Every structure is written in structure tokens, then in C-alpha cells.
Amino acid sequence: MQNGRTPYQEATRELLRQTVFDAAREQLGQRPWSEITMADVASGAGVSRQTLYNEFGNRNEFGFAFVIHEAERFMDDVEAAVLEHRNEPRAAVTAALEHFLRTAGEDQLIRILLSDDGTGGMLPFVTTQGLPVVQWATTRLTAVIEEGWPEAPEADVKTLAESLVRLGISYVTTPGESAEDTAKAVAELLGPFIDKALGSAVD
């Protein structure tokens, strides 16, 4: 009992979350979060409103869960980009960051999230009250980097990950130049540190 139900129950739970997130995603393609009700999401997923509350607690927590779920999609891509350059740390960071900035900048959902400014929007989830997302993304990115360079010092990896996350959020919310130029500049900035922290781990 202590290790979390049966595999079946865990699977249905995951299925439920996936379905509900898909429904929310579709809704968000049409109107901002502030105009979407929990009932909308529930019916869109073919699920009762209660099930939503049972799984997520309240509207705000669902919002956080959704944002993190979406971030997971990006992280999967980032992970792939990183693992494609396991022996060239700098190239890995450049590719990952550029891909992230490019896809995020083009993503319809992200555009709506960012344009959804006022009180009821989802923007605060990644900016003002964004600590949970920052921490989650840092943890995840730390794991990704450690997967690629297991011999790198953990403290260095965490520092690198958190800074990348914060810079990534900053550049997504207020873009400067192109994704390519931005990624290039950041990679150049972090390059020397990366060489030191990860570069020596090349076998």
C-alpha cells in the first residue's frame, strides 16, 4: 500500500491527466485562461467536474500542473537535443537553447499564455509566482545534464541548470534578438564554464 497502488490504477490516473491536459490545451488555443472554466475543461475531456477537483484540488493548482505538463513537452525536446551532442557540451547547450526558444516562440499556446497579461492569466505562473516552475524545471534540467555528463560536479550542474532556466524564461517572456543569436550569445557566455564543469568529463 505504501508504494502507490497498483500499476493499473497508476496508469488510469496518468491517462486521466493526459486527457484533461489535452482538453485544456485545446481550450487555450481559442481563448485565455481567465475565460475558461473548470467545467469547460471537464466537459472537453469527457469527465465530470468532480474528477478534476479530486485530482488537482483547485483551479490554481490545475493551472500550475498544466504549465508544468506543457514545460515537460519542451523538456523532452531539450533532452533529445542535449543527448545528441553528448561529447560536445557547448554545442549541446546551443542546440537545446535555440530549439527551445524557437519552438516556444512559435508555439501558439505560449503566445496566448504570454499575451494573457491581467490578473487571471497564466503568466504569473512562470514570472511573478514562478518559483515552483523554476524549481521544477531546474530539477528536470539538472537531471538531463547529469544524464549526459554524469561525472560533472553536481553543484556546478545545478548552477548551470538554474541559470539556463531563468535565462530561458526571461528570453521567452521578453524576447530580444532572434532565437539563433540569443542561443549563440548565451552559449558563448556559458561556454567557458561548461568547458570547465562538463568538458573534463569527456571520456
Partner DNA sequence: GCTTGACATATCCGCGCTTTGTGTAAAGAT
Partner DNA sequence: ATCTTTACACAAAGCGCGGATATGTCAAGC
Binding site for a second copy (CB under 8 A): 114, 117-119, 123-124, 127-131, 134-135, 156, 159-160, 162-163, 166-167, 169-171, 173-176, 185-186, 188-193, 195-196
Q: Which of 100, 95, 89, 101 is nearest to 160 (CA)?
A: 89
Q: Which of residues 36-95 bind DNA (CB under 7 A)?
A: 37-39, 46-51, 53-54, 57-60
Q: At closest approach, how far in Å is the CB of 124 from a second copy?
A: 7
User: Which residue type, as a one-letter code, is found at position 123?
Assistant: L
- Write down the least CB distance from residue 107 to DNA, Å: 24
Q: Which three cell numbers stand for residue 12?
A: 488510469
Nearer to DNA, 18 or 51 (CB): 51
Could you give the residue ranges of the DSSP H alpha helices within the chain? Answer: 7-28, 38-45, 49-56, 59-83, 89-106, 108-115, 131-148, 154-173, 179-197
Which residue type sits at 83? L
Please say which residue, 42 or 182, places its beta carbon nearer to a second copy: 182
Residue closer to a second copy by CB (options 15, 189) is: 189
Rounded CA separation 115/53 (Å): 27
> Locate cell 512559435: which residue?
106
CB of 127 to DNA, least distance (A): 20
CB atoms within 10 A of CB 32: 18
> How far apart are the two ends of the chain, measured CA to CA in Å?
43
129 binds DNA (CB under 7 A): no
Q: Find out whether 190 and 160 touch, Cβ atoms under 8 Å.
A: yes
Span near DNA by CB under 7 A; candidates 8-16, 82-90, 123-131, 154-162 = 8-16
Q: What is d(CA 91, CA 138) in angstroms, rounded to the nearest whole number?
A: 20
Contact region with DNA (CB under 7 A), list: 6-14, 101-109, 152-160, 184-192: 6-14
Among 120, 121, 153, 175, indicate the residue that binds DNA (CB under 7 A): 120
Residue count, binding to DNA (CB under 7 A): 21
Residues that bind DNA (CB under 7 A): 5, 9, 12-13, 16, 37-39, 46-51, 53-54, 57-60, 120
